[in-house]
Structure 1
């Protein structure tokens, strides 16, 4: 048996790559538990949890809301829309994540009607394709500003305002947490990143930067939760999908040619992965599909010319060129 495995391992390149990825992920899980979380995963009983989701009125966030309700959780949806398309939430609050004062008022209403949340999902996001050095009459700066404001600033505001509910007070003189924790559990913060944080998309500078910023914010929160807030009861994760079939990606991206290695996810598949991560109760950067994990390791270390070849090989460059020509504003129109 050992000889057979060794023979397969030596002759099959994909098996070697898969084994390396699997071992790396296992090491990461152990390291995250020991160094970041500081405590064993807890059993998640959804009936005990109150989840707040931004951008939960439709799309992936909406589907996450539906799945959580099926499992027995209470769910609050915060969205700029006037109402959710699914209507499954326990409480819907109309608010703009780019405006901190609106989130503060939303938090007060959540406390008043349902109590303290235990899980936060920052799913509000937009994509506005643009070319950095195109003149303003072609692509107004408002396109780029909106992406940064919603994707990055919106996540920052949401975590800043609602994250307090996951923590206990802290005694600086005694250098320890004061109990009880406000919600009697701690919690889990989950933000939506993107594979674009590691493998940038053409003509999407602000989207790429906003998602890279989300990954950086995730790592910063890990430090703060452990070192500043001294908490081992708050998990912190970020989801980095490669491509999902949504209204946001429609006509903008071509599917990867190799659907075995880099399959395009459905909204249902993406939402199910998010719920699974919450149930695992451990901090992590998780990728979908799993092959995207290899991209996150390789892309930052590849030379620029090779990254360009990878993008061209996936067809993304031509897709964005076609899309952008359709979207360009006529001269003088703002």
Structure 2
């Protein structure tokens, strides 16, 4: 059988800044790898006072200090030990609630966790299509407290108390502020923000009581910086970031339950139906520095966070780490960054695909209306 042929474009599609950083982390930014450089020169007869040995040793020391401080910071946040890691997570004992788990990232996370013999509870307005027997679906509009409260009681009665909550449900309208209807705003804030409050109110008390559990908040880079045609979405995601940070301090200082872990996931653009009609530049440089994420990348990050049992913030892809700095830049540099990232134009011509309400009509009619308007 012949091997599949790949074009140059397909090969370079997977080559981006994140891959470069991953390689560098294991080479030039790894103290273990760099330690071999001065050792090599010493074997060639150089002494510790010679520059070919002294400079690499200085670089190794700086790297060791950086990674050591970063690791200690995580241990401090999670009351960890320098010598012993946490016991392995018993996946078979977990009951995981995934909001918005019938499509997109939520569906992938639910099915991936189900393979690990985890009891997965999917809360969504639409049923999930799956062959995994250990995925249980409950119809629920998570933006409404009454529905979440009623469903949570059923879950506890039928399955037990959830140990992991993944707040993933999301919706985007993609309209300019003046074009947003009251129903648009209510839906965005309800699904993207209020749903987090309702699920936490329903499931967090038992976690605090047992001093165990994990809350994963799926937010967005849109919560860190403003973008045109995304006012309601950005505001809703900014609220989830602030909610996550405040919850962490309440668990630590007021509930005295630091063992309840919280993970904040801040991804950039993900290739899911939610943002399938956005438009980004297709040139190599843009795709190299501002790559879109595959849903599997998010699913892997979520499962890794659960495995590590640490509270942390995850920025994906690499460029998202620098987005919080934009607010500190002079206005002309901030505007340049906005232009470079295409942030204010990506939603131009956007058509809402996921989370359509009855008053919006089916997608086909909406597309016809758009074509007529053009």
Q: Give the TM interval when normalised to the shorter protein.
A: 0.7 to 0.9
Task: Name 1:269's counterpart in structure 2.
Answer: 297
- CA root-mean-square deviation: 3.0
Task: Name 2:89's counterpart in structure 1.
Answer: 44
Question: How far apart are residue 37 of structure 1 and its match?
Answer: 2.7
Equivalent residue of 2:275, what SS? Answer: coil
Equivalent residue of 1:239, what SS? Answer: strand
Question: How far apart are residue 234 of structure 1 and its match?
Answer: 0.4
Task: Name 1:142's counterpart in structure 2.
Answer: 183
What is the alpha-carbon distance in structure 2 between the residues aligned to residue 76 and residue 25 of structure 1?
37
What is the alpha-carbon distance in structure 1 between the residues aligned to residue 242 and residue 152 of structure 2?
25
What is the alpha-carbon distance in structure 2 between the residues aligned to residue 313 and residue 47 of structure 1?
46
Larger relative contact order, structure 1 or 2 (CA cutoff 8 Å, min sep 6) = 1
Runs of at least 5 residues in structure 2 that lack an aligned partner in the other structure: 1-36, 39-50, 352-365
Rg larger in structure:
2
What is the alpha-carbon distance in structure 1 between the residues aligned to residue 185 and residue 194 of structure 2?
13
- Render the CA deviation track for 1:247-284: whole Å, top value 9, x for unaligned: 11112241674333332111112111111111111111
Task: Name 1:205's counterpart in structure 2.
Answer: 231
Q: 1:323 to 1:79 in 2, by over 3 A?
A: closer
Question: How far apart are residue 287 of structure 1 and its match?
Answer: 0.9
Equivalent residue of 2:300, what SS? Answer: helix
- Farther off after superposition, 305-314 or 62-71: 305-314
User: Which of residues 70, 75, 83 is equivalent to 1:33?
Assistant: 75
Runs of at least 5 residues in structure 1 that lack an aligned partner in the other structure: 9-14, 169-180
Equivalent residue of 2:175, what SS? Answer: coil
Q: 1:323 to 1:74 in 2, by over 3 A?
A: closer
Q: 1:25 to 1:92 in 2, by over 3 A?
A: farther
Task: Name 2:206's counterpart in structure 1.
Answer: 165
Question: How far apart are residue 111 of structure 1 and its match?
Answer: 1.3
Between structures 1 and 2, the one with greater helix share: 2
Do the aligned partners of 2:278 and 2:348 also contact (CA within 8 Å) in 1? no
Do the aligned partners of 1:130 and 1:144 also contact (CA within 8 Å) in 2? no
User: Which of residues 98, 107, 114 is equivalent to 2:143?
Assistant: 98
Do the aligned partners of 2:279 and 2:348 also contact (CA within 8 Å) in 1? no
What is the alpha-carbon distance in structure 2 between the residues aligned to residue 291 and residue 153 of structure 1?
28
- Render the CA deviation track for 1:113-146: whole Å, top value 9, x for unaligned: 21111110001110112222x2xxx432321221
- Farther off after superposition, 218-227 or 142-151: 142-151
What is the alpha-carbon distance in structure 2 between the residues aligned to residue 197 and residue 5 of structure 1?
46
- Farther off after superposition, 95-104 or 40-49: 40-49
Question: How far apart are residue 110 of structure 1 and its match?
Answer: 1.3
- Farther off after superposition, 261-270 or 185-194: 261-270
Equivalent residue of 1:319, what SS? Answer: coil
Task: Name 2:130's counterpart in structure 1.
Answer: 86
User: Which of residues 308, 325, 328 is equivalent to 1:301?
Assistant: 328
Q: 1:312 to 1:78 in 2, by over 3 A?
A: same
Give TM-score, length-normalised by structure 2: 0.72
